[in-house]
Amino acid sequence: MHDKHTAKIRSNNFASTHGRHGSLIAICSETKGNRMANDNFETLMNARAVLARKRLNLIQAIATGGDNPSDAIKGLVELQQGIEVIDATIEELEEAELQEELEDE
């Protein structure tokens, strides 16, 4: 049951992340000539995925009452801040891509 639950959470996180940034995914797909935007988006999403996995590991450590939960909590807060910075960067990139698209029309 734990494995099914974890898989469901991972699936929902993936869908939620990509759903939130769906407009940038669409833009990057349409602008195949814009390699930089595609590379930037891929880098951001990869970094976010790494931090999300680390976040899950820390949550599991907290839930099991690991060696030092206060360290895990501190790490969790720092990871969440990193994820929020990446999300903000993705949103800025989305806005810049949309602005560029509007200017090209």
Per-residue pLDDT reduced to its tens digit, 38-78: 888 899 999 999 999 999 999 998 898 877 888 889 999 99
- % of the chain surpassing 90 pLDDT: 36
pLDDT level of residue 101 (50, 70, 90 thresholds): confident
Q: Are 93 and 37 in contact (CB under 8 A)?
A: yes
Non-local CB neighbours of 18 within 8 Å, separated by 6+ positions: 25
Domain range for 93 is 2-104
The SS3 of residue 105 is: coil
Work out how many domains the chain is built from and give that number: 1
DSSP 18-83: HHHTHHHHHHHHH-TT-HHHHHHHHHHHHHHHHHHHHHHHHHHHHHTT-S-HHHHHHHHHHHHHHH
